[in-house]
Structure 1
Amino acid sequence: MPARVFSLFVLLFLAGCGAEPPPNLIIVHVDDLGWTDLHSFGSEYYETPHIDRLAAQGMRFTNAYAAAAICSPSRAALLTGRYPARLGITDWIRASFQHGAWAPGMPLEAYVATDERRLRTPRNQPYLPHEEVTLAELLKPHGYATAHVGKWHLGPEGWWPPSQGFDVNIGGCDFGQPPSYFDPYANDRVAGIPTLPPREEGEYLTDREADEAVTFIRTHGDGPFFLYYAPYAVHTPIQAEPEVEARYQAKPPTNHDNAAYAAMIESVDDAVGPILLTLEEEGLAERTLVLFTSDNGGLEPITDNAPLRAGKGAPYEGGIRVPLIAWWPGVIEAGGVSDVPVSGIDYLPTLAEAVGVPVEQVVDGQSFWPVLTGQGTPERTALFWHFPHYRYDQVGPYSIVRSGDWKLIRYYDPEPYGVSRLELFNLAEDPGEQMNRAEAEPAVAQELENLLDAWIERVGARLPEPHPDPAGH
């Protein structure tokens, strides 16, 4: 049975029963969680029993990717199904307190230049445009109650979740990280999270988020509902509950050895636990699809993404490959493992197909609903990434294409970073990206570069351009 017909069959069956609303949807979108930062994805140090249960009862993806190696573009892509380059959000968006304030009339087509850089880079879009259709906006006309809990990071006030289809917004603002993980969530610079009023001094942020998520589920159990839970954890500042951190300090280290970070991961696991328990207690588990993932790779050296190379912000697998688990008891077969490459741009079309909601806007993603239901593997030529900026002194502008087992990275200013203009890797043979095959396989490199050029033109990706007078060059 074709997957689309299967999803419609599920809806018709539920409707025929007379009492059941359409399926509920939950996305757990963790911040900065690395590919191996879960026990079910290989860690022997981090403890994640609830998330591991999610994996054991659902399907685990070993080739899942964030749509960007950093947060804001990844989140925008997940919510819209469109590449960050098409949206114009290709870097993280600065909050107002980080001097990221934007005013109408500011030229978004402008370029940014500094004397020490060889290239001028495109100005980053400072918000998710209202005309973009988010998953929440797609679902609301079909009777879905919608809630955002946690980190938003997609623009200043006026572009927060309520303007993008969410009925409930708890914690979502322009912040990319919390001032503090302890109530009242303030520090010397910022007085707190404007959309999360303090309620109990010292309460840990992830615990508060989990409680709010559970309250939403219980309140809207007659459904259908869409919950986008995006915990601020495990982003910096690295702050943990002392008693949990102490337990990890007593554990033998592996390649993972940061006790405070481990405790933060456990706090996310402790948030997933009551969400699953609530679904079961309310009789909602068998009509709720849950996706669990991360917005980019783990931040090194806080964590270690081995065997993958590098981490957050980098074009290597450690920067963009993320854990992904899909869970829907009775629909997704338990214990499944898929090596099909999927991306954050695929979530909107996948969830829309799962619940039988048509997608009328142009999206870049492809539904992997057939993979979840054992109906087949979607055909895909390639996946793409685009970062036309400088990230501190760590990496310069780059674009990426993955096609099959081959991955090409093209740097636009390679010399200061000691890299080649083109890096070509066979991920099946070299998942750690240690052997650049660009010179040995020039035909493959050229084929992938052609794919990349065509994609850049198709989505209107903006490229860096030469600085007219860079200092010292």
Structure 2
Amino acid sequence: MLKILLLFLVLPLNSLAQNNKNIRPNFVFFLVDDLGYSDVGCYGSDYYKTPNIDKLAYEGVRFTNAYASGMVCSPSRASILTGKYPARLRITTAIPIKGYARIKNGTGTPLMDADYTMNLPLEELTIAEVLKNNGYSTSSIGKWHVCKDSLFFPQNQGFDENIGGSGRGHSANYFYPYYGKWRMAEGHPWIEWNTVKGGKPGDYLTDRLTIDALNFIEKNKNKPFFLYLSHYAVHTPIQVKEKTLLKYKDAVPDKERGHIYPKYAAMIESVDQSLGSIVKKLEQLNLTDNTIIIFTSDNGGHGKWTSNYPFKGNKGNFYEGGIRVPLIFKWSKKIKSSQIIEDCVIGNDFYPTLLEMAEIPLIPNQHIDGISLWSLLNAGKKIDRNELFWHFPNYIGAGHPDPARPSSVIRSGKWKLIENLENGEVELYDLKNDISEKNDISKKFQKKVVELKNKLNNWRIDVNAQMPLINENFSP
């Protein structure tokens, strides 16, 4: 019912959008999977070659305190699409996860997973639906991973087309035919790689998705469009084109930053090449001035392949290396170039930001947890928000020596508190003076701990966050 009401509120704007189709900006939302904060040149890497990403940052705005809404894929992506915290959506972990039944019924962990939503509800009014109802052509190309069942695929969530999107969190193979053995798997109706049509042996998935994106731009050059290009790269498996790999085989690795793997470097370069192709296409069609490009990642880098230097942690935990991500905005027409913004922002903020940039009325009941960044981008106006929150009432990596464990987090100014939900223990960090989270100062600042724990608990109540349950069968 709520979705019908929200649709009613935006539908009357459709005719206005049609009349202003040459005025409203295009959007290219360029989302990379598992790209670490320092995995690109403009964020500190000398080993990874990312000239197109670096150029985008030079011509646009680079954020230094941008956060994913989750430490793994699905929560972060659901937040981008809805403007809500994952805890409010109850999409708090990767969908689906290996070992789910074991966590629910086993003896290896002191808590049991909180129940979580396996499909992004159709009742949610996604950013794609609002843009589509206001005259935009919409395309989801690449990874989706906010559902288990095909009913909840992009084509039913506001996108005119879906190429490569399913419930799967990563590709079986980056070379044609991409799906490997999964297509024949029994009991997995959500695996539908047939949305990537055509191709030949040797074709590389990142290149293929880029071609589809270029075709979409060409087809919609005369009307506003929203391109959600969500690459599977640089998620495992780490597979690359040999010609791209060659330049890194003799390159000097950056051991200080943990940038030492030629294959991973080549995979990052394939994403950079994709961005370069998109930018070139926009230039050829004279669409640059009226196209907004947003570049970011869904969570921190994988701990096996990169270090997320100078941060502690990686994908799958709430240290800075797991949730702080690169973020670049470019809009040649209205955003001053070569800016660096230090304000804290999060994935919930994209939804209202895009609406305001497109001059579409905000929908506060939908993007309830997001704040528009437009005034910050355009006029340098500070954000009126004091805290950011994360909540993970689950485990990932059942059977591993150190699985991701239930925890909640608050960042308030320079302070960051991590609460372990298994035992109630906390860690407190001063990010202004300890960006690498080396010194837990919770015992020194006990009043601050109490203050932040109260704020964190009040937030969990406000969003009706699910909490893990005591595992009566736990056997240490």
TM value normalised by structure 1: 0.90
- Asked whether the equivalents of residues 179 and 190 of structure 1 are also in contact (C-alpha less than 8 Å), the reply is no
Match in the other structure for 2:221:
221
Instruction: State whether structure 2 residue 133 is matched by structure 1 residue 124.
Output: no
Q: AA paired with 1:425? A: Y
Match in the other structure for 1:106:
none
Instruction: State whether structure 2 residue 393 is matched by structure 1 residue 380.
Output: no
Deviation at 1:100, TM superposition (A): 8.6
Match in the other structure for 2:395:
390
Q: Secondary structure at the match of 1:376?
A: coil
Match of 2:31 among 29, 32, 35: 29
- Asked whether the equivalents of residues 60 and 337 of structure 1 are also in contact (C-alpha less than 8 Å), the reply is yes
Match in the other structure for 1:243:
243
Distance 1:319 1:266 in 2: 21
Match in the other structure for 1:270:
273
Q: AA paired with 1:316? A: Y
For residues 120 and 52 of structure 1, do their structure 2 counterparts lie closer, same or farther at Cα, with a shift above 3 Å needed?
Answer: same
Distance 2:390 2:215 in 1: 37
Q: Secondary structure at the match of 2:150?
A: coil
Match in the other structure for 1:181:
174
| Mean Cα deviation higher: 272-281 or 193-202 | 193-202
Deviation at 1:280, TM superposition (A): 1.1
Instruction: State whether structure 2 residue 362 is matched by structure 1 residue 353.
Output: no
Deviation at 1:242, TM superposition (A): 1.3
Q: AA paired with 1:311? A: N
Q: AA paired with 1:175? A: R
- Asked whether the equivalents of residues 28 and 226 of structure 2 are also in contact (C-alpha less than 8 Å), the reply is yes
Distance 2:297 2:340 in 1: 18
Match in the other structure for 1:256:
259
Instruction: State whether structure 2 residue 160 is matched by structure 1 residue 167.
Output: yes
Q: AA paired with 2:27? A: L
CA displacement, residues 314-359 of structure 1 (integer Å, 9 cap, x when unaligned): 1100000000000000211110000000000000011111111123
Distance 2:362 2:379 in 1: 22
Match in the other structure for 1:79:
81
For residues 18 and 234 of structure 1, do their structure 2 counterparts lie closer, same or farther at Cα, with a shift above 3 Å needed?
Answer: closer
Match in the other structure for 2:211:
211
- Asked whether the equivalents of residues 408 and 445 of structure 1 are also in contact (C-alpha less than 8 Å), the reply is yes
Deviation at 1:375, TM superposition (A): 4.1
Q: How many aligned positions are there?
A: 444
Match in the other structure for 2:466:
462
Instruction: State whether structure 2 residue 149 is matched by structure 1 residue 145.
Output: no
Distance 1:358 1:468 in 2: 50
Q: Secondary structure at the match of 2:214?
A: helix
For residues 340 and 260 of structure 1, do their structure 2 counterparts lie closer, same or farther at Cα, with a shift above 3 Å needed?
Answer: same
- Asked whether the equivalents of residues 21 and 135 of structure 2 are also in contact (C-alpha less than 8 Å), the reply is no
Match of 1:311 among 310, 314, 317: 314
Distance 1:198 1:424 in 2: 52
- Asked whether the equivalents of residues 138 and 359 of structure 1 are also in contact (C-alpha less than 8 Å), the reply is no
Distance 1:132 1:18 in 2: 27
CA displacement, residues 417-458 of structure 1 (integer Å, 9 cap, x when unaligned): xxx810000101000001111110111111111110010000
Q: AA paired with 2:427? A: E
Structure 2, gaps ≥5 residues long: 1-12, 185-191
- Asked whether the equivalents of residues 37 and 308 of structure 2 are also in contact (C-alpha less than 8 Å), the reply is yes
Match in the other structure for 2:375:
370
Match in the other structure for 1:298:
301
Runs of 4+ in 1 over 3 A off after TM superposition: 98-101, 188-192
Structure 1, gaps ≥5 residues long: 1-10, 102-110, 415-419
- Asked whether the equivalents of residues 106 and 473 of structure 2 are also in contact (C-alpha less than 8 Å), the reply is no
- Asked whether the equivalents of residues 113 and 121 of structure 1 are also in contact (C-alpha less than 8 Å), the reply is no
CA RMSD for the aligned pairs? 2.1
Deviation at 1:18, TM superposition (A): 7.3
Instruction: State whether structure 2 residue 444 is matched by structure 1 residue 446.
Output: no
- Asked whether the equivalents of residues 147 and 169 of structure 1 are also in contact (C-alpha less than 8 Å), the reply is yes
Deviation at 1:471, TM superposition (A): 2.1
How many percent identity over aligned positions?
42
Instruction: State whether structure 2 residue 341 is matched by structure 1 residue 332.
Output: no
Instruction: State whether structure 2 residue 151 is matched by structure 1 residue 154.
Output: no
Distance 1:348 1:282 in 2: 27
Match in the other structure for 1:407:
416
Distance 1:395 1:126 in 2: 19
For residues 216 and 314 of structure 1, do their structure 2 counterparts lie closer, same or farther at Cα, with a shift above 3 Å needed?
Answer: same
Q: Secondary structure at the match of 1:260?
A: helix
For residues 136 and 227 of structure 1, do their structure 2 counterparts lie closer, same or farther at Cα, with a shift above 3 Å needed?
Answer: same
CA displacement, residues 214-259 of structure 1 (integer Å, 9 cap, x when unaligned): 1101110112110100000000001011121121111011130111
Deviation at 1:121, TM superposition (A): 1.7
Deviation at 1:186, TM superposition (A): 3.0
